[in-house]
Amino acid sequence: MLHFHVKRIDSYLFKSFISLLFITFFVCLFVVIMQFVWLHIDDLVGKGVPLNILAEFFLYAALSSMPIALPLAILLASLMTFGNLSERLELLAMKSGGISLFRIMRSLLIFISLVVIGAFFFSNNVLPFAQKKMWTLMFSFRHKSPELEIPVGEFYSGIKGMNIYVRSKDQKTKALCDVMLYDYSNGFDNASVTTADSVWVQLTADKKNLLIILKNGEYFENLSKQGGVNRRNIPYRREEFAQKELLIDFDANFNLLDEDLLADQHVSKNLIRLTHDIDSINHLRDSMRVQFSTTMVQEKYFQRIYTPAQFDTVTVSEPSNRLLPSPDSLFLTASQEQMLTIARHAVTRAQTVASDMQFYKISIENADTVYVRHAIELHLKFTLSFACLIFFFIGAPLGAIIGKGGLGVPAVASIGLFIVYYIINTFGQKMARETLWDVWQGMWLSSAVLLPIGIFFTYKAATDSTLFNAETYQKFFTLMKTESKTFIRKMTRRLNNRSNRESL
């Protein structure tokens, strides 16, 4: 009978938790997607992208945001679940029946462990594919020409190599009135200016060119690009026209970039590829450092006074009597022409050394950057999954301690804890990305900070601590206030008695 009763508790807790988890997950996912879209709003708005392409982009953005939304959803759902149990005194009834907090959490802990495993496989198999698709679409959005919508009263620079200024628009004929067109495709020094009373702008049938029809206008062009022209008196050419047509390259179609361009990036690799590429990059970094050291020695950039054979024979106890001539004395004995030759050779030698060292420095730094990015992506596949487990051990006992259900207090506590996690995680990634810390130190910093907090909350909840009970703190401060008054009263009485004795 007891076994059946315990199974009903597990079923009840699981149903309560899973319903809240689904709701909070989709809410958190929506918030994370909107935050991502807001950061890249300039690449999405005003491009005239088809709706099916936008829907595909949001699908891949949702898949890419799941590893961030899932830990927050688990934190909020667990906090609300155990907060509701504590507020309705159901948790107290279970504990009164001899069921410990760890036994109450057992079914949910097993489920969260499965979620952690599933989150890892999702990050390893689905996430690289989704990120490759998402960033391919994002870069395609950036390369797409903006939607042609020329405003009134301001310069429009959406056409490459041109600026268009329109004073008004005719709503009936759809014409742009009183237009100035600045063409600087040949450089600002060779810019041409066209004015027209009426202008019609339209795309060609294939949407790869822009047809501009101008009526009743003038065209001005300077002739400085012609050879033999005096820069002080630059002639220009003026042309009047009744109608003029311009055909400009303007591809308004949406062209999807090749996905293979991102195939070698760290965001599109799984655990096996990341491990293999990290080993290859480490081998490349070591070989570059050895090559750099070898080049410095072979090119004699770090020369010694003695040759290697002579250096082995020189000891401290038997100093060499060989006197080396002073470089200054040798230089002064040369002729003026020889001095110039020596100086030029020294400058060339120094520039060669500097350029070689700069080349190897940039090459090694680029290899280090690629290594750090791959290593960060490798650790992210574990840290984001492990964060789900940590947030459960924070949310469940914290909800039991706070004793408040609903969406008010749990939402505030969850957002506060997630902000702390996000700040610590961002700080750790920044330190790892800038190679100030080892990658594993920066990536596991947030877990190292939050795991003791989860253990502390779990211990306090298991021991029925009143950590967040306002009445406990009120009683504590009341007791401290009473004790302080009693202490002051006793000290005052002793001082008065001492003063009376001294007066006698």
Q: Residue 52: which residues within 8 A CB-CB, separation 6 or more? A: none
Q: Angle at Cα 118 formed by Cα 113 and Cα 123, nearest 5°?
A: 125
The pLDDT value given to residue 3: 47
- The domain locations on the chain are 1-144+260-314+324-468, 155-249
Instruction: State the pLDDT at residue 289.
Output: 80
CB atoms within 10 A of CB 72: 26
Residue 191 CA: distances (Å) to CA of 182, 283, 336, 347: 7, 52, 52, 43
> 433 near 374, Cβ under 8 Å?
no
Rg of the chain (C-alpha set): 37
What is the reported pLDDT for 445?
Answer: 92
Distance, in Å, from the CA atom of 72 to the CA atom of 28, rounded to the nearest integer, reads 7
Which pLDDT value is given to residue 312?
A: 44
Task: Tell me phi and psi for residue 164, to 5 degrees.
Answer: -120, 135
Give the integer Cα–Cα distance in Å for 141 and 134. Answer: 11
51-87 and 101-121 helices cross at what angle (nearest 10)?
Answer: 170
To 5 degrees, how large is the angle CA 258–CA 261–CA 263? 110
- Res 254: pLDDT: 67
Q: How far apart are CA 52 and CA 300, in angstroms?
A: 63
Question: For each of the chain's 504 residues, which pLDDT tens digit applies?
Answer: 444 445 788 888 888 899 999 999 999 999 889 888 888 887 777 667 778 888 899 999 999 999 889 998 999 899 888 888 888 888 878 878 778 888 888 888 999 999 999 999 999 999 999 999 888 888 887 776 565 677 888 888 777 778 888 888 888 887 888 888 888 777 766 778 888 888 888 777 777 777 888 888 888 887 665 554 555 566 667 888 888 888 877 766 667 777 777 778 888 888 999 999 899 888 888 888 887 777 766 665 554 433 444 434 444 444 454 555 566 666 677 677 777 887 888 788 788 878 878 888 888 888 888 899 999 999 999 998 899 999 999 888 888 888 776 667 777 887 888 888 889 988 998 998 888 888 999 999 999 999 998 888 888 887 776 655 555 556 656 767 677 777 777 777 777 777 766 665
Secondary structure of the chain: what % helix, strand, coil (to 5)? 65, 10, 25
Q: Report long-range pairs for 4-12 (Cβ below 8 Å, ≥24 apart).
A: 6/99, 6/103, 9/94, 9/99, 9/104, 10/106, 10/107
Q: For residue 405, give the DSSP letter.
A: -
